[in-house]
Amino acid sequence: MSIAAGMDHALYPYRAAHNRPALQWPDGARVALAPVVYLEHWPINLSPDGYADPRFRDPYGKFQPDYRTHTWREYGNRIGIFRLFEALDRHGMTATLAVNAAALDHYPNLIEEALRRNWEVAAHGAVADAMVTSAMPEADERALIAHCLDRLQAATGTRPKGWIAQDFSESTRTLDLLAEAGLDWVAHWPNDDQPYWMQTQPPLVSVPQLSELDDVEALWHRRVPTPRWPAMLAEAISVLAGEAGRCAVVGLHPWLFGMPHRIRYLDEGLALVSQIKGLWITRVGDIAAHFRGSNVTEGAG
């Protein structure tokens, strides 16, 4: 595939929103909402040769052992995630659980809680302080992908179909390696409001995220006041419903929205969007599967 107007790569074809038909969701829904809850493990002793998002580093320096970050994240997986479970349950919402392979050793009970709720499980890299970059040798990256998929299959009985990269990180090879490993979809490219084909062999479906509404991106990195988040979420979903054929994948982190002073605002946001007409509350994999079954073939290879 040649690089088209508007692009600086050949990963997918360029096509502006005004020049493509709207997708048709099940039962005439106008917008698909898929919450993603992250189950991550941040180790006390930092991963050898790991590369973590520098925005998470303590302003006072880098610590080894990293008790500060570890215990912060552990709070989310011991306490906060149950508040997220309860909030989503109240509004009849399923979710996609994005799981680090390392989390399987520490939080198997949380996998059980998710599966009991009919959530799907997606692969989310190995560990929270080790992003994938192009500095990783190809053989190591291929082995990491296989390790994550094998571990999740052993823990759940089902091989994951989707990959949501740790902190949206990739190498220049990642998409091809994920397709080679048998994945169906990825959900860490925040560049659209509807799914599209990645130019891999076989083709992957990319289900984009509303990254600015991800709780870490909005509340932590950009310092948006938490009480503003419910209205921002409702505004975004309302606009997307008005355009039709759009999707909204929204990331939620137990260590952030699971805090007692924030959980109220997650509940308020979910209550607001639940009132929007034409809402399909689903999982990321269901969006990808519906897209695969549609008549959209451009870029499918």
Q: Which tokens go with 50?
A: 């790991």
- The answer to whether the beta carbons of residues 197 and 189 sit under 8 Å apart is no
Amino acid at position 137, single letter: P
- The answer to whether the beta carbons of residues 73 and 41 sit under 8 Å apart is yes
What tens digit of pLDDT does each residue of 25-35 get? Answer: 999 999 999 99
- The answer to whether the beta carbons of residues 183 and 160 sit under 8 Å apart is yes
The whole-chain average pLDDT of the chain stands at 90
Q: Which tokens go with 45?
A: 């002793």
Higher pLDDT, 12 or 253: 253
Distances (CA, A) of 182 to 134, 137, 142, 213, 260: 21, 20, 12, 30, 40
Report the 10 Å Cβ neighbour count for 232.
15
Task: Report how far residue 210's alpha carbon sits from residue 191's, in angstroms, rounded to the nearest whole number.
Answer: 9
H or E, element range at 120: strand 120-123
pLDDT category at 298 given cuts 50, 70, 90 is: low
Which of 1-5, 130-134, 235-239 is least confident? 1-5
Q: What is the mean pLDDT of residues 100-106?
A: 94
Q: Nearest 5°: CA angle at 33, between 28 and 35? A: 155
Q: Which tokens go with 146?
A: 């296989």
pLDDT category at 301 given cuts 50, 70, 90 is: very low
* 3-state secondary structure (DSSP) of residue 36: strand
- The answer to whether the beta carbons of residues 290 and 25 sit under 8 Å apart is yes
Task: Report how far residue 29's alpha carbon sits from residue 291's, in angstroms, rounded to the nearest whole number.
Answer: 14
> Dihedrals φ, ψ of 126, to 5°?
-90, -50
- Residue linked to tokens 């939620």: 252
Amino acid at position 164, single letter: I
H or E, element range at 148: helix 138-156
**Does the structure show a pLDDT above 90 at 54?**
no
Contacts of 138 (CB under 8 A, 6+ apart): 173, 177
- The answer to whether the beta carbons of residues 88 and 96 sit under 8 Å apart is no
Contacts of 249 (CB under 8 A, 6+ apart): 34, 35, 36, 187, 207, 208, 209, 210, 284, 287
Report the 10 Å Cβ neighbour count for 242.
12
Which residue, among 73, 92, 1, has the nearest Cα to 254 in the 3D structure? 73
What tens digit of pLDDT does each residue of 208-247 get? Answer: 999 999 999 999 989 999 999 999 999 999 999 999 899 9
* 3-state secondary structure (DSSP) of residue 223: coil
Which residue, among 250, 205, 225, has the nearest Cα to 32 in the 3D structure? 250
- The answer to whether the beta carbons of residues 123 and 160 sit under 8 Å apart is yes
Q: What is the mean pLDDT of residues 152-180?
A: 95
Distances (CA, A) of 23 to 97, 137, 138, 172, 275: 25, 38, 36, 29, 22
